Structures are given as C-alpha cells and as structure tokens.
Amino acid sequence: MKLTRRNYLALSAAALTGAAACQSQAVSETLEAPSPPTPAPTSLPDRTSFSLGSVVYLNAGSQHPISNQAHRSVEAYMRHREAHPVPDPYSLNSDGVIEKFARLVNADPDEVTFVQSTTAGEQMIVKSLGLPQAGAKVVTDTLHFFGSFPLYGELEKSGCEVTWVKARDGRIALEDMDKAITPGTRLVSLSLVSTYNGFEHDLKAVCDLAHSRGALVYADIIHAAGCVPVDLHASGVDFACCASYKWLMGDFGLGFLYVRRGAMGELKRTNFGYYGISEFATHVYPLDSPGEGMVDYAFTDDAAGWFALGTHSHTTIAMLDASLDYIMATGVDAIQAHAVTLTTQLREGLASRGFDLATPADFRTPIVTCIYADAHKKLSDKMKSAGIVTTISRNRIRPTVSVFNTQDDIAAFLEAIGSA
C-alpha cells in the first residue's frame, strides 16, 4: 500500500470495531457545533474576553491567561473526544492553525511546523546544522534566553568557538555583533525580544550582516509573536521558533518552528518522524506488494519533512485556533500600541520611585524589568497581599502587560511596590 502522510494517519484512526464506530457516530450526532469566533474588541483594554476576576495579572510574559473563546474551543474539542474515544486526528484545524501562524509572522505555511517547545526547536536547528563540530564558529549574546546558555556552553566544551556578545546599557549593539560575526561563522543565535529586559534586535540588520559573512541566523521569537510586529520573510531570518503559551495565548507543549525555504539546503537530516513523510509503503504484512526492503518512504521537502516528529497537543491546537483569530482580528499594531501606553506608565512610575530600570526607554515591547537586590525576598509577600501576579526573580522584578491590562493595574502595581 502507498500512503500519503495524511492517509497514513487516517488509517490508524479508521481501525475501529464496528460496534465502536456505530456508538461513536450515534453520539457525534448530538455534539454541539463549536462557538463562532469572538469579534475583535472595539478597543483595548479588553477584559471581557478573559476571566481574571479581581487579580492584577502582570505576567503574560511567563504564561498568558486563556481567553474565554479559547476555553470554549477546548471544551468543544473535549466533547468531540468524549464522543470519539478512538483518536480522530482530523477533528482539529491543525493545518489552519499553521496557516494562521504563518500569516501572523509573514511566512509560508510549508515553512512552518509544530514542535514541542522553543527549546526543542532551537536544539533541532543546532543539530541539523551539524553542531557541535570542532572549530565551528557560533555567535550568541547575553540577552538571549538564559535557558539556552547551557546549550552554547556545551557547544564550547565540544570544540565549537562560541562568541558571546555582551549587553551594554541593556542593549546588544549592532557594532558589537559586527565585530563578533566573522567570515566562517556558522550560526548566529539570538532572541528577537529578550526575556530578560524586552530589548528588541533589528533582526533584518543582524541577518544582512550575518549573511554577508556566510552565517545563518536563528531567532527565538517567543516574546515577540503576537505582541510586536514580526515579519520573518522581510527580516531574512533563516530559522525562528516559539512556544505558544505567552502572547500567542496558547498553552504548554506546542509551538512553531520556521525554516526559511532557501535555508533547507544547509541542513543535515537528524529527525525522522512519521509526520514528515510524503510516501509510505510497507513490504512486511499480508497482501503487501513486494519490495527490496521492509519499507519504502520519502519525506516532504518542507519544514514538516525536516522537523515534524509525532503527535501534538490537540487541546493547544484547539486553543490556538481561537487565539490566533483573536490576535489577528485585534491587530498586532493595536496590541503593541496598548502595551506601550502601559509600559511607559510603568517605566516612568518605577523611575520616579528610584528603581534601576534594565529595560531601554525607547523600546516598544510589553516587558519592563528593573534590578532590585533581594527582590524575591522583599517583594513576593507584598505583591501577593496586593493581589498582583508578576515575575519576581532573586534580584529583579519583571511586570509584563497584554490586551486585558489597564492603567489601573499599573497604578496598583506601583502603589504596591512603593519606593526602592
């Protein structure tokens, strides 16, 4: 038998007993249709689309609240699963979610595939570029995701020449990247928007510089997608990845990996998942056609063919089907403009109270970080008592904002934090 990837999965779903199939069909006739998409809010802030209660939630940069529409979408999926206990991979708009994300970041759908997390995607790219390799040159910076530091530390231990560009005044200067990216550099790895302080790279400038010296560029876009404009094609970036649980308003366990079509020829295949196959024919079962080996197969020449592995989080796909509609209907420009109003209020309020801001004043991202010795020890109870949820690390505090936050939220935070 010769199968496409879709048919390969469909056959598994079709292996129902007659009784189970009849039962599933009978129950499915009583299923409610999914709720129609919620219209975009006429203005921001939009609290009606979220069930936050009285909490002041300034932590979208750690995990975004689930919208009411996304909740209804998951409920519809769960009702379907209850009625169809045998897996039905086509009850979800998986391809549509890929297409929506691609549209959001200006990519082609075949350049995007699902991955488990941002970290998983970054590791896949690094391995597919043949790293670690003794003598290979890699450039990263100290405003990249700190969770990726061990990856580049291990590349160093394995013989790669890793250059760390250090931040100055809360920024990574393009002139410092210029000095670090030398001819022969294999990979430049960065976060488009820094999880640490909200600094945003000029991604096109970095890519132009890197490409002029033969280097490829990977961008972590988890703190950018859904809250600041992202144009992957215009930037020229070769690879980009993000999980979905922050400003994409999804959940843990599912993200997106982008692979520029022109960069696929630079890759070595290190992943062999059945979600990436285009043709599949076994030669081991009764009535199979004869063949030289146990199986004939081919991979698609797209992002899925290179990096798709196996099953994904179906509940998160259901959430994203609604959430991506909401983001695009609201408009990323409007989301960013609303955030800038709030972060300006935050920056000015914190500065007037004597706090040392780590976030550059002219950036338009939804993150404000200030350095404060023993922040976790001094501020955790204070914020909890005030009903405020935000990120408090050992020596810094990082409020982050989204579409539901109000100026009253910022005022409450500033009152609770007091003076430095």
- Kindly state the DSSP code that residue 218 receives in the 8-state scheme: E
CB 206 within 8 A of CB 190: yes
What residues are paired with 191 via a beta bridge?
A: 220
CB 261 within 8 A of CB 111: yes
Q: pLDDT tens digits for the chain (420 residues)?
A: 334 444 544 444 433 333 333 333 333 333 344 555 556 676 899 999 999 999 999 999 999 999 999 999 999 999 888 887 776 654 689 999 999 999 999 999 999 999 999 999 999 999 999 999 989 999 999 999 999 999 999 999 999 999 999 999 999 999 999 999 999 999 999 999 999 999 999 999 999 999 999 999 999 999 999 999 999 999 999 999 999 999 999 999 999 999 999 999 999 999 999 899 999 999 999 999 999 999 999 999 999 999 999 899 999 999 999 999 999 999 999 999 999 999 999 999 999 999 999 999 899 999 999 999 999 999 999 999 999 999 999 999 999 999 999 999 999 999 999 998
User: How far apart are alpha carbons 178 and 207 in whole angstroms?
Assistant: 11
Q: Tell me the CATH number for domain 94-327.
A: 3.40.640.10
* Strand boundaries in 12-104, DSSP class E: 56-58
- DSSP code string of 285-334: STTPPP-SSSEEEEE-SSHHHHH--S---HHHHHHHHHHHHHHHHH-HHH
User: How far apart are alpha carbons 287 and 307 in whole angstroms?
Assistant: 32
**pTM (2 d.p.):** 0.90
CB 231 within 8 A of CB 373: no
What residues are paired with 194 via a beta bridge?
A: none
Domain ranges within the chain, ordered by starting residue: 94-327, 331-417
Written as six digits, the tokens of 126 are 């690094």
User: How far apart are alpha carbons 411 and 420 in whole angstroms?
Assistant: 16
User: How far apart are alpha carbons 321 and 343 in whole angstroms?
Assistant: 29
Q: Which CATH superfamily is domain 331-417 in?
A: Aspartate Aminotransferase, domain 1 (3.90.1150.10)
pLDDT at 223: 98
pLDDT at 134: 85
